Amino acid sequence: MSVRQSLLAILDQGPCYGYQLRAEFDRRTGSTWPLNVGQIYNTLERLERDGLVARGDADDQGHVYWAITEAGSAEATGWLGSPVERGQGTRDELAIKLALAATLPGADVAAVIAAQRRASTARLERLQQDSQEGSESDRPEDLARNVILDAQILTTEAELLWLERVERRLSQRPSGAPALALSPERPRRGRPTSTAAL
């Protein structure tokens, strides 16, 4: 998630101060991704350095309002109009955990999958219950919340389907198939092992 572009998109609606930006972000994302104020001010300072926002004067209550620049508005518009690129590599902790469990001697990968399935099923039930609350509302805040919840529900459903696929893949391995032992090769310090040599 890009805090930078999200703040720019909000500021494109009008000048805001830090706590106001946090409240607007929270309101527009259904309170599903809390931002701390320190993160917001750090981001605003970087945006100012990059010429995308300008710091205004403080009002009577000490609020410093930030306004978007023309370059910032163009970046916000570009971000909203472009697709989110998903990386090819995965840093998904669960995928890494299952890949390791499937290749480590003595690891009980079935137990790892079962524990995750229980947790994911419980999460799905909570999300579905949360989604039903306020689903009939016409308020924009509830629409934003439900958009986020729908994404979380579908992601969790996909995770459960993926766990089934991993189980099927593991069940197709010959019984007694060896796990990976430590490689006897000693990679050179500071350089990855060449894939051509494998």
**Mean pLDDT confidence for 119-127:** 95
**Would you say residue 86 has pLDDT above 80?**
no
Residue 154 region by backbone torsions, left for phi larger than 0, else alpha for psi between -120 and 50, else beta:
alpha
The strand pairing partners of 190, in sequence order, are none
Query: Among 65, 56, 79, 64, which residue's Cα sits nearest to residue 4?
Result: 79
Q: Could you give the CA distance from residue 138 to residue 165 in angstroms, rounded to a whole number?
A: 38
**Mean pLDDT confidence for 90-118:** 86
In total, the chain counts a number of residues equal to: 198
pTM over 0.85: no
Q: Using CA of residue 14, residue 20, residue 25, residue 28, what is the dihedral sign?
A: negative
Q: Name the token pair of 13.
A: 């609606």
Fold of the CATH domain 3-80: Arc Repressor Mutant, subunit A (1.10.10)
Domain limits, the chain = 3-80, 93-171
Q: What is the pLDDT of residue 17?
A: 94
Q: What is the pLDDT of residue 70?
A: 97
pLDDT digits (tens, 9 = 90+) for 14-61: 999 999 999 999 888 877 778 888 999 999 999 999 999 999 988 999
- Give me the DSSP letters along 159-182: HHHHHHHHHHHHHTSPTT---PPP
